[in-house]
Amino acid sequence: MSDSMRQSTTDKAASTMKPDSEKSILEKGQDTAKSTADSVAGSAQPEGEKSMGQQATDAVSGSGTGSGGQGQGVMGQAQEMAGNAAKTVQDTLGMGQRS
């Protein structure tokens, strides 16, 4: 796997710089999906195969193999992130469970 499968640092920064209050529902959903996919790719990619820039970005963002999820496999992390992304989209669309 190479960095070409990863979200660029520029894309991450642009997404972070724009406040959620100014994003459309579609943009929020796309950001969540891209972030989740990038986190899964970063967790699956061995540290030795990452560029220096990607290693630095992973360290700052908390993604990659060295972050949380100790003892949890890549598939478990992917399932958890996908569930979190789905919940975020539901909440954004107002479809989440209300207490």
Which pTM was predicted? 0.54
H-type alpha helices, 45-95: 52-61, 74-93
At residue 68, the pLDDT reads 47
The pLDDT tens digits of the residues spanning 5-34 come to 788 878 888 888 888 889 899 998 888 888
Q: Hey, how many other C-beta atoms are within 10 angstroms of the C-beta on 23?
A: 15
**Which residue ranges make up each domain of the chain?**
28-45+68-99
The pLDDT tens digits of the residues spanning 51-79 come to 888 888 777 776 655 444 444 565 666 67
At residue 71, the pLDDT reads 45
Task: Identify whether the C-beta of residue 26 lies closer than 8 Å to the C-beta of residue 51.
Answer: no
- How much is the CA Rg of the chain, to the nearest whole Å? 14
At residue 14, the pLDDT reads 84
Average pLDDT over residues 91-97: 73
At residue 70, the pLDDT reads 45
- Does the pLDDT value for residue 42 go beyond 70? yes
Distance of alpha carbon 14 from alpha carbon 8, whole angstroms: 10
